[in-house]
Amino acid sequence: MTIQTKNHSFIRNKLLNKEEVAFLDVREEDPHAQEHPLFAANLPLSRIEIDAYAKLPKKSVPIVTLDDGEGFAQLAAQRLINLGFTDVSVFEGGVKSWKAAGGEVFKDVNVPSKSFGEFVESKRHTPSLSAQEVKQLIDSKEDVVVVDVRRFDEYNTMSIPTGISVPGAELVLRLPELAPNPKTKVIVNCAGRTRSIIGTQSLINAGIPNEVNALRNGTIGWTLAGQELDKGQSRKFHEVSDDTKNEAAIRARSVADRAGVKRASLADVQTWKTQADRTTYLFDTRTPEEYEAGHLPGFRSVPGGQLVQETEMVAPVRGARVVLADPSGGGVRANMPASWLAQMAWDVYVLDGVHTSDLTEKGSWQAPLPDLPTIKSVDAATVSDWLKNDSNTIAIDFSTHANYVKGHIPGSWYALRSELAEAMKKIPQADRYIVTSSPSELSLFAAQELQALTDAEVLVLAGGNSAWVKAGLELEKGASHLASPPLDRYKRPYEGTNVDPAAMQAYLDWEFGLVEQLSKDGTHHFWVL
């Protein structure tokens, strides 16, 4: 079957007209992060069956797959067609032809959000203090509160001394009780720049009476100044009173109204779920714990600060409708992120009129999946026995490289599904291969492909790596048996505690250049309150 192709002018016209398009870079994350068009969202070939239904909720959305000549775009398009998507094309000539047509390319990940953050600072001159100035405030015991707006796990890895974890969307709700005295100075930090700019500007936009500054360049700036970061901290925001919540709700609603955020009811949501000609994303922006205790059917848990930071990771269809819900925080955690999404030119709504009785589903979000292939499976105890006593049995793990390094079945090999043929040249030949992964469903699709490459017996570990852990079996840590290069994760210069200072500085220089790149690209429609 011949798959149709699209070019630069097709994508550009879609973006300029604010029409729906899913422009999908189907390479692994590292090659994607080296260079890609601004709104080319990363959906790797190796994860298409696992992620497509959640990220592309409407089967008729125009999809264009992109690679850089490796052939992944063609394979991905075919897989999407097999999954029932009806308007799938390949971007002709890959990234090279995008550049040849005059298209701007961007480095790193979450670029729409990061460039928007720089755009905000360039327009609003968001106030900031240097690492040295903030350290002096802390050392001289000034009346100052440091709030860290990253995910808690990032904060826990490394943080500014005295800092408290308050993920972005929680700021307007929680800060009044963390800094009840309006004379208390507030410092907002992240790892680099974006989330601290957005967090600082959120508090300013909401009219918080305190003086608020971003920590300029975040934990990177702190490290480059030769200052020590804390590790393993667990200070968190706490619950607030009804009075605080009500006042925060009024502030946040006012900001959302000024940004042109639209309102939706549960009846609207029911209508949109069945609408054939429009993509609608439904996101619950509270903490994962609140979501798991009770949420609306069909809503995905995406805490609001991360949604603004990583929009394209959960909503790759540019031009789609986005509906946010915060049913237990007075709407603060929906209205504040919605105000930013509106300025990023999303068609964004906040859901009103939700009652506790409407939160009928419990537990973590489950990704919608296609029919899974039927592959013969085997339990963890049997696999453990085989691996110990049978040298002709080998386990292959298709989890992310980061998860593999954290812990894997002893002796198992790490392989990327998109590089499987190459990986099999490095993995020893065996009579029996056991395929595993997190999530376990991924191994079913990988096993199918593996079986096409070998005459050996191919089985999947029932329940994947989590079943191995549940069975109480030991894990091995580290990057021991790599049959594929770890291309599935771009090494971010702001993560972890042992990053080369030159890489950190290069990252900051790159962020400073984003506003100029945006103006060259010209398809973003960003604006600032």
- 385 strand-pairing partners: none
**Lookup result for tokens 């065996």:** 430
Q: What is the CA radius of gyration of the chain?
A: 24
Q: Can you give the pLDDT at residue 503?
A: 80
What are the structure tokens assigned to 38, written together?
């601004």
- pLDDT band of residue 169 (cuts 50, 70, 90) is very high
The angle formed by the CA atoms of residues 384, 390 and 393, to the nearest 5 degrees, is 75
Mean pLDDT (the chain) is 95
Selected residue with higher pLDDT from 200 and 276: 200
- pLDDT band of residue 499 (cuts 50, 70, 90) is low
Measured between alpha carbons, how far is 328 from 71 in angstroms, rounded to an integer? 47
> Is residue 523 pLDDT above 90, yes or no?
yes
Give the largest Cα separation in the chain, rounded.
Answer: 72
**Lookup result for tokens 């999947």:** 460
Q: What is the pLDDT of residues 153-166, one digit of tens each?
A: 999 999 999 999 99
Q: Can you give the pLDDT at residue 488?
A: 93
> Is residue 498 pLDDT above 80, yes or no?
no
Give the Cβ contact number of residue 376 at 10 Å: 10
Selected residue with higher pLDDT from 78 and 513: 78
What are the structure tokens assigned to 135, written together?
């350290």
Contact 411, 483 (CB under 8 A): no
Residue 324 neighbours by CB under 8 Å, 6+ apart: 283, 284, 285, 304, 307, 334, 335, 337, 338, 341, 348, 349, 350, 351
Measured between alpha carbons, how far is 111 from 124 in angstroms, rounded to an integer? 20
Give the Cβ contact number of residue 234 at 10 Å: 10
Q: What is the pLDDT of residues 220-239, one digit of tens each?
A: 999 999 999 999 999 999 99
Q: What is the pLDDT of residues 387-412, one digit of tens each?
A: 999 889 999 999 999 999 999 999 99
Q: By three-state DSSP, how is residue 456 classified?
A: coil
- 282 strand-pairing partners: 323
DSSP-derived secondary structure for 281-344 = EEEE-S-HHHHHH-B-TT-EE--HHHHHHSHHHH--EET-EEEEE-TTTTTHHHHHHHHHHHHT
Measured between alpha carbons, how far is 378 from 418 in angstroms, rounded to an integer? 24
Q: By three-state DSSP, how is residue 37 classified?
A: coil
Q: Can you give the pLDDT at residue 178?
A: 97
> Is residue 380 pLDDT above 70, yes or no?
yes
Q: By three-state DSSP, how is residue 213 classified?
A: strand
Q: Can you give the pLDDT at residue 11?
A: 98
Q: What is the pLDDT of residues 60-83, one digit of tens each?
A: 999 999 999 999 999 999 999 999
Contact 131, 221 (CB under 8 A): yes
Q: By three-state DSSP, how is residue 280 classified?
A: strand
Measured between alpha carbons, how far is 503 from 524 in angstroms, rounded to an integer? 28
Residue 411 neighbours by CB under 8 Å, 6+ apart: 387, 394, 395, 476, 481
Average pLDDT over residues 470-497: 88
Measured between alpha carbons, how far is 382 from 384 in angstroms, rounded to an integer? 5
Measured between alpha carbons, how far is 358 from 343 in angstroms, rounded to an integer? 30
Q: Report percent pLDDT > 70 for the chain.
A: 99
Measured between alpha carbons, how far is 309 from 202 in angstroms, rounded to an integer? 13
What are the structure tokens assigned to 343, written together?
């300025």
Q: Report percent pLDDT > 90 for the chain.
A: 93
Q: What is the pLDDT of residues 296-344, one digit of tens each?
A: 999 999 999 999 999 999 999 999 999 999 998 899 999 999 999 999 9
Give the Cβ contact number of residue 366 at 10 Å: 9
Average pLDDT over residues 448-475: 96
Average pLDDT over residues 419-432: 95
DSSP-derived secondary structure for 85-152 = -SSEEEETTHHHHHHHTT---B-SSSHHHHHHHHHHHHHH---EE-HHHHHHHHHTT-SEEEEE-S-H
Domains of the chain: 5-109 (3.40.250.10), 116-235 (3.40.250.10), 259-358 (3.40.250.10), 377-470 (3.40.250.10)
- pLDDT band of residue 462 (cuts 50, 70, 90) is very high
> Is residue 146 pLDDT above 90, yes or no?
yes
Contact 55, 310 (CB under 8 A): no
The angle formed by the CA atoms of residues 114, 118 and 120, to the nearest 5 degrees, is 115
Q: By three-state DSSP, how is residue 79 classified?
A: helix
> Is residue 507 pLDDT above 90, yes or no?
no
Q: Can you give the pLDDT at residue 436?
A: 97
Evaluate the omega torsion of the peptide bond into residue 337 and state whether it is cis, within 30 degrees of 0.
no
What is each CA distance from 98 to 28, 38, 523, in whole angstroms? 18, 11, 14
Measured between alpha carbons, how far is 305 from 326 in angstroms, rounded to an integer? 13
> Is residue 497 pLDDT above 90, yes or no?
no
Quote the distance between the C-alpha of residue 489 and its chain's center.
12
> Is residue 493 pLDDT above 80, yes or no?
no
Measured between alpha carbons, how far is 348 from 323 in angstroms, rounded to an integer? 6
Q: Can you give the pLDDT at residue 366?
A: 95
Q: What is the pLDDT of residues 32-44, one digit of tens each?
A: 999 999 999 999 9
Backbone phi, psi, residue 12, to 5°: -60, -40
